[in-house]
Structure 1
Amino acid sequence: MLASRLPGLLPPLSNQEALESAAILSLVSTNYATTRWRHRPFRAPHHSASVAAMVGGGAIPAPGEISLAHNGVLFLDELPEFERRVLDALREPIESGKIHISRHPGRKLTIRRISS
């Protein structure tokens, strides 16, 4: 409960930061509460969250918890309970401040030519 109060201790978002956070949130929700304008987001995913839930992606690409916490707080309660793969996926965004999601084609095409 104490961690959920952390965004209130941080300075309010600038208009640019608030716009960025609202744009990311609009990708997953159509109900943006205007009363939350300039309030820092707080995300506390469950320890069973998958890599896709944390980083983003999926069959229909959507932002993950890291993106939804942009300019706010991402609280990982019970950190040792998270899967190793999830914690490894957090390494690059923490170090670089960016998330890269790459997709590989689902089908391979092999072309062979026989010359005589």
Structure 2
Amino acid sequence: MVALDDDVPFLSEEVRQDLDSPVISALLEEPRTPQELGDMGLSRQVEPRHRPYVSLLKVTGSSGQSHIGGRFTYVYHMHGDLRRGIRRFIEENEVELANTLDTRYNVVGESFDEYDYQVLKEEWYALRSKS
């Protein structure tokens, strides 16, 4: 379990107590899928009190509903840990991304906000140039 100590000076005592949970400790270590959180015996969903500190990368359809077929795996990450979250999202969804990013209707581009999508493309093309 990752300890929240004085290395994170901007967190108030109230926030530190609020973040004292196994789910937050797991996400501080690395971004996680809901399945991983469940396999660790933790809630597969982030508690409402943690939502101000946690982001979820997920693909939704044009109506805002979760992408039909469940082809993309969701990834939770702590705010401020977007790049690691994106890298984990790519790792979990490499085949789906390869089949989607260069299509006419790009459900990923429609689902992510502009900045997150730009980071996704940067990380995707950096990964692809290494192979």
- Structure number with the bigger relative contact order (C-alpha 8 A, sep ≥ 6) is 1
Q: Same fold (TM over 0.5)?
A: no
User: TM-score, normalising length from structure 2?
Assistant: 0.26
Larger Rg: 1
User: TM-score, normalising length from structure 1?
Assistant: 0.28
Larger helix percent: 2
